Chain A
Amino acid sequence: MVDIDINWITDSFGSMTPVLPMVLVIIGALLMPGIHLLFKRKDVTCAVSLAFVVLAAVFNILLLLGHYNGTYYDLFTYDAFSGLMILLFQVVAFIAILIAGPSSETTKLHVGAFYSLMLIATAGMAFVATASDLLLIFVGVEMVSIPSYAMVAMKKKDPRASEAAVKYVIIGGLSSGLTIYGISMLFGLTGTTNIADIAAALATQGYTAGLVIALATMIAGYGFKIAAAPFHMWAPDVYEGAATPVSLFLATGSKKMGLVVYIKVFFVMFVTIQAAQPFMTESIQYVFAILAAITMTVGNILAIVQGNVKRMLAYSSIAQAGYMLMAIAIMSEWAMTGTIYYMFAHVFMKGGAFVVVAALITAGVGENLKDYRGLAKRAPLLSAVMLLCVFSLAGIPPLAGFTAKFFLFSAAIVPGLGEPVSAQWVWLAFVAILNSAISLYYYAKIVKAMYIEKGESEEKIKVPVAFTIAAVLCVLGVIAMGVFPEPFLYYCSQAAAAIMP
Chain B
Amino acid sequence: MFDEIFAEIPILMLLLVIPLIGAVATLFMGGERQKYAKYVAGAFSGVTLVLVILLMFVDNMALLSENYLWIDAANIRISFILEIDGLSLLMVLLTALLVFLVVVFSASESDRPNYFHTLIMIMELGLMGVYLSADYFLFYIMWEVTLIPMYFMISWYGGPRRHYSAIKFFIYTHVASLVMLIGIFAIVFQAAAINPGVIADFSFAAVNAASGSFGEVFQVLVFGLLFFGFAVKMPAVPFHTWLPDAHVEAPTGGSVLLAGVMLKMGSYGIIRVALNALPDGAIWWAEIILVVALISIVYGAYACIAQTDLKKMVAYSSINHMGMVMLGIAASLLYVKYAASPDPVIAQIGIEFAIFQMFAHGLVTAVLFMVCGFTGHALGTREIPLLGGLAGKLPAFATFMMIGFMASLGLPGLVGFWGEFGVIFSFYVAAEAMGQIWLIVFCLLSIMLNAGFYIWAMQRTLFGRETTKVDLSHVHDVSKAEGFALAVLCIVIALFGIWPDFALGYIETFVANFAMPGV
Contacts and interface: CB of A to CB of B under 8 A. Distances in A.
A421 B182 contact: no
A489 B73 contact: yes
A210 interface: no
Given A398-B141, A448-B167, A485-B71, 10 more contacts: A334-B75, A396-B147, A402-B141, A414-B193, A417-B199, A418-B193, A418-B197, A434-B178, A490-B74, A493-B73
A125 to B, nearest CB: 27
B199 to A, nearest CB: 6
Nearest to B187: A421
Contacts of A485: 71, 73
Tell me the dominant secondary structure on chain B's binding face.
helix
B163 interface: yes
A55 interface: no
Given A334-B75, A437-B178, A493-B73, A417 B171 contact: no
B186 A493 contact: no
B190 A420 contact: yes
A391 interface: yes
Interface in A329-377: 334
Given A420-B193, A421-B186, A451-B152, A436 B178 contact: yes
Contacts of A24: none
B182 A413 contact: yes
B239 interface: no
Interface in B51-82: 70-76
Interface in B140-183: 140-141, 144-145, 147-148, 152, 155-156, 163, 166-167, 170-171, 174-175, 178-179, 181-182
Interface in A396-427: 396-398, 402, 406-407, 409-410, 413-414, 417-421
A5 interface: no
Counting chain B CB atoms within 10 Å of each CB, which of A391, A485, A486, A493 scores highest?
A: A486
Contacts of A413: 182, 185-186, 189
Given A448-B163, A486-B72, A421 B141 contact: no
Contacts of B205: none
B175 A429 contact: no
B174 A417 contact: no
B169 to A, nearest CB: 11
Contact of B185 (A391, A398, A409, A451): A409
A382 to B, nearest CB: 17
Contacts of A207: none
A486 B185 CA distance: 18
Contact of A418 (B70, B166, B198, B218): B198
B193 A421 contact: yes
A441 B167 contact: yes
Contact of A437 (B156, B171, B185): B171
A48 interface: no
What are the 7 tightest A-B residue pairs by CB atom distance, in nearest-first order? Answer: A414-B189, A397-B141, A417-B75, A420-B193, A437-B175, A486-B71, A489-B73
Interface string B295-328: 0000000000000000000000000000000000
A433 interface: yes
B354 interface: no
A4 interface: no
Nearest to B222: A421
A208 to B, nearest CB: 38
Tell me the dominant secondary structure on chain A's binding face.
helix
A444 B167 contact: yes
Given A391-B148, A398-B141, A417 B192 contact: yes
A485 B200 CA distance: 15
A139 interface: no
A430 interface: yes
Contacts of A395: 178
Contacts of A493: 73-75
Contact of B174 (A334, A398, A420, A437): A437
Contacts of B152: 451-452
Nearest to A412: B185
A440 interface: yes
A452 B174 contact: no
B189 A421 contact: yes
Given A436-B178, A451-B152, A493-B73, A418 B141 contact: no
A122 to B, nearest CB: 30
Counting chain B CB atoms within 10 Å of each CB, which of A397, A419, A444, A490 scores highest?
A: A397
A437 B175 CA distance: 6
A165 B156 CA distance: 42
A418 B199 contact: yes
Interface in B182-230: 182, 185-186, 189-190, 192-193, 196-200, 218
30 contacts: A334-B75, A396-B144, A396-B147, A396-B174, A397-B144, A397-B145, A406-B181, A409-B181, A409-B182, A413-B186, A414-B189, A414-B193, A417-B76, A417-B189, A418-B197, A419-B193, A437-B175, A437-B178, A440-B171, A440-B174, A444-B167, A444-B171, A448-B167, A451-B152, A451-B155, A451-B156, A452-B155, A484-B71, A486-B73, A493-B75
Nearest to B137: A406
Contacts of B198: 418
A207 to B, nearest CB: 33
Given A417-B76, A418-B197, A433-B178, A444 B190 contact: no
B175 A418 contact: no
A409 B188 CA distance: 13
Given A413-B189, A419-B193, A452-B156, A433 B182 contact: yes
Contacts of B218: 421
Contacts of A391: 148
Contacts of A410: 185, 189, 200
Contacts of B144: 396-397, 402
Nearest to B156: A452
Contacts of A407: 76
B170 A444 contact: yes
Contacts of B141: 397-398, 402
A372 to B, nearest CB: 15
A489 B71 contact: yes
Contacts of A334: 75
A183 to B, nearest CB: 36
B91 to A, nearest CB: 21
A405 to B, nearest CB: 9
Contacts of B181: 406, 409, 433
Contacts of A397: 140-141, 144-145
Interface in B107-152: 137, 140-141, 144-145, 147-148, 152
